[in-house]
Structure 1
Amino acid sequence: MRPRSGPTVEHRVLAARLRMLRERAGVTLQAAAVALGAHPATVRRIERAETGLDAHQVRVLLERYAAPAEVAEGIMRALVPANLPGWWHEWRDAMQPWQQEVIGIESSAALVRTWHPALVPELLRTPDYEAALCRTLGAVPAARLDRHLELLAERRRRLHRRGAALWALFPAAALRTTVGGPAVMAEQRAALEEAAHLRRPTVQVVPLDDPPHPMTGAPPTHLLRVPEPEIGDRVVLEMPGRVVVVDEPAAVMDHRIRMDGACAVAPHPGTPLPASAEDAGGNP
């Protein structure tokens, strides 16, 4: 068994289909487990994409659920690609534990929306900005910093390559917080100005003197949308000391509404970035 690095979306889709087939057939977890000769927790792990999809087990479950032949054949054909490791598997040594849960979703998302209350959002950071921030916060061990930066660059490349939309919202205070020194900040600002001008990705910066908005006080928040009907949106909240992944539809909708509201009152995408501290006369 290969080391775990998080399920791909293909794996999650098949797991969700197996759960839906069981529920439509009116088969309980206990009854499905009896068919497998296993514990109900085994069926639960299969349906949550927490374990590899064993062909024999899947075939037994499909027979127990009386799945139509064409449906069963489609699922069995999809098993091999669904069990393949994701592209990020080789970077698992540089991944945070929570990334193993969500990077597969991000890697298939058609839209990634992100908010940071104090810093430039991660997917918009230059390598020097991210490296300086990691050193300051001690977020990544020095021995893994290069690998961490490689992974971040690969995440951005893959988002761009498949045409996924990235929409970032953050306060102008992020541009006044000096990370890594003036040269690093100048490079970061230039990258943001180019992105804002091209509107690729979409960048919105909330001015310092704007009133509170729906995301005020919210932790770093990422909303991931995957164009697969079996996969619901996910919200990732970077809380102090832990990361929370939200998949309950009503809770996800609440976060989406808040982000929509904050984006609606922020300057339109393409608006020039607020003046830097130097341009503003050095005032904080």
Structure 2
Amino acid sequence: MRARSGPTVEHRVLAVRLRLLRERAGISLRAAAEALDAHPATVRRIERAETGLDARQVSELLRCYGVPPAVAEPMMAKLADANLPGWWHRWRDAMDAWQQEVIGVESSASLVRTWHPALVPELLRTPAYAAALHRTQYPDDPPARLERRVELLRERRRRMRERGADLWALFPAAALHTRVGGPETMAGQRAALAEAMRERHITVQVVPMDHPPHPLTGMPPLHLLRVPAPEIGDQAVLETPGVRVDVVDDPETVMAHRIRLDAACAAAPRPGTPLPE
């Protein structure tokens, strides 16, 4: 499991580079830890971005690995920015633990692909739809926290739009008939979907209710995140609502989920098809 504090992509990239430099130098975790006069778990946490990047420790590790100044100095120069809290830090009180784990990656993703088996996918929800759903999913939340959750969703959408990230969503037409809130809320959600389908960076595919089964039929919500940083591989987020959420970065597992999503999208009506009634 990664840090629950939600490290930024810049932090993750430096952490991965430290691990790669250690491995290329043939230095074990124990030897690296001895250079820091620390436990091997400390180095492991640094390499997994589970703790802040301390300048003294990073400098000592780079020296231990024999990293030349031309490589070490740019890395040290990036430490301050990597240690800054992400923009989402102020909303941590409104986030579930798994969201804190993945928000840093989503915030730098160039492409987010998402499937939901029963509802409008989160990043396409209107504030009214999201609020009505939150009242059902989090009945014990006070109104102030519910509003914070909706604010966070609005900010995630705004930042995706601002950086020109692509969103590709697949969901069944049944989601348009599952009444979340009242008729006005559903009408507003349908109108917002129709508008989103005209945006350049958004692709929406809706599977008709009489459509044959496809590779994701019956599967829980799935999200695939792609970050334009070679050190950070694609990630898959697989939700089992109310039970657990798995955040996966194993390349083979992520590829298996991508293949299923690709096949489901290929079987669905083409993007741009009008919303079914």
2:114 and 2:104 mapped to 1: Cα distance?
17
Match of 1:187 in 2: 188
Residue correspondence of structure 1 range 200-211 to structure 2 within 5 A? 200-211=201-212
2:199 and 2:46 mapped to 1: Cα distance?
43
Match of 1:9 in 2: 9
Structure 1 residues 6 and 198: alpha-carbon distance in aligned structure 2, compared to 1, 3 A threshold: closer
**How much has 1:71 moved relative to structure 2?**
0.7
Match of 1:172 in 2: 173
Give the gaps of 5 or more residues in structure 1. 276-284
Following superposition, which runs of at least 4 residues in structure 1 exceed 3 angstroms of deviation?
A: 197-200
Cα deviation, 1:184-217, whole Å, max 9, x if unaligned, reads 0000000011122345411000010111111111
Match of 2:263 in 1: 261
1:38 and 1:200 mapped to 2: Cα distance?
47
Q: Secondary structure at the match of 1:197?
A: coil
Match of 1:91 in 2: 91
**How much has 1:138 moved relative to structure 2?**
2.1
Contact 2:112 2:166 in 1 (8 A): yes
Q: Secondary structure at the match of 1:63?
A: helix
How large is the Cα RMSD of the aligned pairs? Answer: 1.3
Scaled by the length of structure 1, the TM-score of the pair is 0.94
Give the gaps of 5 or more residues in structure 2. none
Q: Secondary structure at the match of 1:6?
A: coil
1:197 and 1:44 mapped to 2: Cα distance?
46
1:195 and 1:51 mapped to 2: Cα distance?
38
Residue type matched to 2:36 in 1?
Answer: L
Match of 1:144 in 2: 145
Q: Secondary structure at the match of 2:197?
A: helix
1:138 and 1:28 mapped to 2: Cα distance?
46
Q: 1:248 and 2:247 equivalent?
A: no
Q: 1:157 and 2:158 equivalent?
A: yes
2:138 and 2:58 mapped to 1: Cα distance?
44
Instruction: State the identity as a percent.
Output: 72
Match of 1:229 in 2: 230
**How much has 1:139 moved relative to structure 2?**
6.3
1:271 and 1:127 mapped to 2: Cα distance?
24
